[in-house]
């Protein structure tokens, strides 16, 4: 049986794991907003002001730190003024990116801000650069965040909201290299500077501006942005134009043209998926290395504001709606991503899984009034103690927890650890499809009090939850931990995710 030793120094705290690494993404795409978050006030499904309460309740248990909206590709054809005022008078449009369906704009700015309040999440608004104007974006910031009296403040008040909202995260375009305008990096960087200039800080509302960044390993794009980040001529009050730059990376088992089924896959597909998931480590390292050259003090945040699995849509569903099931395989993609995110805590400030409800690697799936929690949901829940915790470096040693997958080598044990308020949380994944792994937790520099552990696994990798079998993949108590002279020992079953929690003694 493969074995691995994880050396963890309990007394050496590393960089803080930003809670925003557990961020989310909700686009006007398929049934994410309509039917997912939003059912309307007249729906028989219990709602508050039109927002589905079962979805809110499920997501509140994840402590969602931020929610990105309204896209994605949709953001670059969204005109925010169409989504305010009486709903029956709001203009309609065609959502050309996603299914060519009509958008009635019933879910707009006020509805989104109400959703964030219900979730206890910070809003992350993605502004339109592709087909919008500087004035339109500037006025949206004013509408949301300005106090006192001004044209946009009067408009907001006329729509029933006296006080400004607080909005920190502001995206300047999305995928400007593709659906957001098919731009060159140089042009996109210039536009980002221009738009950022007019996205003002009103009063004490300070924006965190996020420039539309690279896809995958396009380090040249990141370099082009970083070269343009400083405001020359602002020497009196030195500042950068954007506080963060984004990157997108999706996990696939093969090429875009042959993504494969979410549920019906074989072991080879599974291992290729895990190699693809692990690639995020190299990609984050690449972008961080470029950023270090221009920003050695690591003040500018890397924002992975789209990540997750992308499979073929479920048979019989609209191909433009990106509705996919979610199995134990997806859960392990998430758990290994989080281990890698924690390792990059010093530069990686935010990450947003795509997407929260009914689209791509979702937390919850709805069907009429039914709601199902996915295996990925449980990883977010089991890992939530890492939010804003101090990372603890994990030195993983193994001679044999490794598999050849084509030309690649897949390390099959993945781990990360943190400490917050005197409580240690250790996350462990065994990515091997068949073999258990003997794991030693070599704990140094301290010891633990009463230890509890939970495990997420199932008899097969394709296991998933449905309305008829909602608990097919759900966390269970794990009682296989043994105290040793070194710390703890356990056997990690194949394809499993486990968390160990304990107070420092
Ligand atoms: O998440 C789905 C789509 O993927 C987003 O709209 C876009 O930004 C990306 O290509």
At 351, the pLDDT band (50, 70, 90 cuts) reads: very high
Please tell me the distance between residue 46's alpha carbon and the centre of ligand 1 in angstroms. 30
Residue 103 has pLDDT above 90, yes or no: yes
> Is pTM beyond 0.85 here?
yes
Between the CA of 372 and the centroid of ligand 1 the distance, in Å, is 23
Following DSSP, what letter does each residue of 45-68 receive, concatenated? Answer: S-EETTEEHHHHHHHHTTT--EEE
pLDDT > 70 in the chain, percent: 100
Residue 214's alpha-carbon distances to 176, 228, 247, 282, in angstroms, are 9, 15, 5, 14
Phi-psi region of 492 (alpha: psi -120 to 50; beta: other; left: phi over 0): beta
For the domain bounded by 3-10+392-503, which CATH number is listed?
2.60.40.1180
Contact 234, 193 (CB under 8 A): no
pLDDT for 54-77, tens place per residue?
Answer: 999 999 999 999 999 999 999 999
Q: Tell me if 175 CB under 6 Å of ligand 1.
A: yes
Contact assessment for residue 242 and residue 196, using Cβ atoms and an 8 Å cutoff? yes
Q: Is 162 a catalytic residue?
A: no
* pLDDT for residue 232: 74
Q: Is 412:431 a contact under the CB 8 Å cutoff?
A: yes
Name the token pair of 37: 């978050």
Ligand 1 site, residue 174, Cβ cutoff 6 A: yes
Q: Quick: pLDDT tens for 391-431.
A: 999 999 998 999 999 999 999 999 999 999 999 999 999 99
Which of helix, strand or coil describes residue 500?
strand
CA 75 / ligand 1 centre spacing (Å): 10
Where does the chain hold its CATH 2.60.40.1180 domain(s)? 3-10+392-503
Tokens 């729906």 appear where?
43
- CA-wise closest residue to 405 among 269, 235, 299, 310: 269
CATH 3.20.20.80 segments of the chain: 18-388
- Can you tell me whether residue 152 is helix, strand or coil? helix
Residue 363 Cα to ligand 1 midpoint, Å, equals 17
Report the nearest atom of ligand 1 relative to the CA of 306: 1
Q: Give yes or no for residue 73 CB within 6 A of ligand 1.
A: yes
The confidence band for 231, taking pLDDT boundaries of 50, 70 and 90, is: confident
In this prediction, residue 239 carries a pLDDT of 77
pLDDT of 107 reads 98
Q: How far is the CA of 308 from the centre of ligand 1 (A)?
A: 11
DSSP letter for each residue of 420-468: ETTEEEEEEEE--SS--EEEEEEEESS-BSS-EEEEE--SSTT-B--SS
| Residues 443 and 489 sit within 8 Å (Cβ to Cβ) | no
Whole-number average pLDDT of the chain: 97
Beta bridge partners, 209, equal: 170
Q: Which helix H or strand E contains 283, and what residues bound it?
A: helix 267-294
The CB density around residue 163, as the number of other CB atoms within 10 Å, is 8
pLDDT of residue 234: 73
Rounded-to-integer distance, Cα 27 and Cα 32, Å: 6
Verify whether ligand 1 is closer than 6 Å to residue 72 (CB atom): yes
Ligand 1 atom closest to Cα of 73? Answer: 6
CATH of the domain spanning 18-388, picked from 3.40.50.620, 3.20.20.105, 3.40.640.10, 3.20.20.80 = 3.20.20.80
Pocket test for ligand 1, best of 25, 26, 27, 247 (most atoms within 8 A of CB): 27
Predicted local distance difference test score (pLDDT) of residue 233: 72
- Give residue 178 CA to ligand 1 midpoint distance, Å: 10
Clarify whether 175 is annotated catalytic: yes
Catalytic choice (139, 175, 223, 381): 175
Give the model's confidence band at 240: pLDDT under 50 very low, under 70 low, under 90 confident, else very high: confident
The residue whose C-alpha atom lies closest to atom 6 belonging to ligand 1 is: 72
Ligand 1 contact via 95 beta carbon (within 6 Å): no
Q: Which of 306, 346, 381, 450 is catalytic?
A: 306
Residue 236 has pLDDT above 80, yes or no: no
């Amino acid at each position: 049986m493969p074995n691995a030793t994880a050396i963890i120094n309990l007394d050496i705290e590393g960089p803080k794991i930003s809670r925003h690494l557990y961020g989310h993404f909700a686009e006007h795409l398929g049934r994410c907003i309509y039917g997912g978050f939003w059912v309307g006030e007249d729906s028989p499904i219990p709602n508050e002001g039109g927002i589905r309460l079962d979805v809110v309740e499920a997501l509140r248990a994840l402590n969602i730190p931020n929610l990105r909206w309204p896209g994605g590709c949709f953001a670059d054809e969204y005109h925010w003024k169409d989504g305010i005022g009486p709903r029956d008078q709001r203009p309609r449009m065609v959502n050309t990116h996603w299914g060519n369906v009509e958008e009635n704009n019933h879910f707009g700015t006020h509805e989104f801000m109400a959703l964030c309040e219900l979730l206890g999440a910070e809003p992350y608004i993605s502004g339109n650069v592709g087909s919008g104007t500087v004035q339109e974006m500037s006025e949206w910031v004013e509408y949301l965040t300005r106090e006192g009296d001004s044209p946009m403040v009067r408009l907001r008040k006329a729509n029933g909201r006296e006080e400004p909202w607080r909005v920190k995260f502001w995206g300047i375009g999305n995928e400007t290299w593709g659906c957001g305008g098919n731009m060159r990096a140089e042009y996109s960087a210039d536009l980002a500077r221009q738009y950022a200039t007019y996205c003002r800080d009103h009063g004490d509302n300070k924006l965190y501006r996020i420039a539309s960044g690279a896809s995958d390993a396009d380090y040249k794009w990141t370099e082009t942005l970083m070269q343009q980040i400083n405001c020359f001529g602002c020497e009196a009050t030195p500042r950068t134009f954007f506080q963060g730059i984004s990157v997108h990376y999706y996990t696939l088992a093969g090429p875009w043209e042959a993504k494969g089924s979410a549920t019906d896959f074989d072991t080879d597909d599974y291992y290729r998926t895990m190699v693809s998931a692990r690639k995020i480590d190299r990609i984050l390292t690449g972008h961080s290395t470029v950023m270090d050259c221009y920003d050695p003090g690591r003040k500018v945040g890397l924002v992975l504001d789209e990540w997750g699995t992308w499979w073929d849509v479920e048979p019989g569903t609209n191909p433009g709606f990106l509705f996919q099931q979610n199995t134990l395989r997806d859960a392990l993609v998430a758990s290994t991503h989080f281990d890698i995110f924690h390792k990059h805590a010093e530069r990686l400030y935010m990450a947003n899984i795509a997407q929260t409800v009914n689209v791509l690697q979702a937390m919850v799936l709805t069907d009429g009034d039914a709601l199902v929690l996915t295996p990925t949901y449980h990883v977010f829940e089991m890992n939530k103690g890492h939010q804003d915790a101090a990372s603890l470096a994990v030195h993983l040693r193994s001679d044999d927890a490794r598999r050849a997958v084509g030309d690649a080598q897949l390390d099959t044990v993945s781990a990360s650890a943190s400490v917050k308020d005197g409580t240690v949380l250790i996350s462990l994944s065994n990515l091997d499809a068949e073999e258990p792994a003997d794991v030693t937790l070599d704990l140094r520099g301290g010891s633990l009090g009463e230890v509890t552990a939970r495990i997420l696994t199932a008899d097969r990798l394709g296991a998933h939850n449905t309305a008829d079998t909602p608990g097919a993949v759900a966390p269970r108590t794990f009682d296989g931990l043994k105290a040793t002279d070194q710390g703890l020992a356990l056997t990690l079953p194949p394809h499993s995710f486990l968390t160990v929690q304990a107070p420092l003694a």
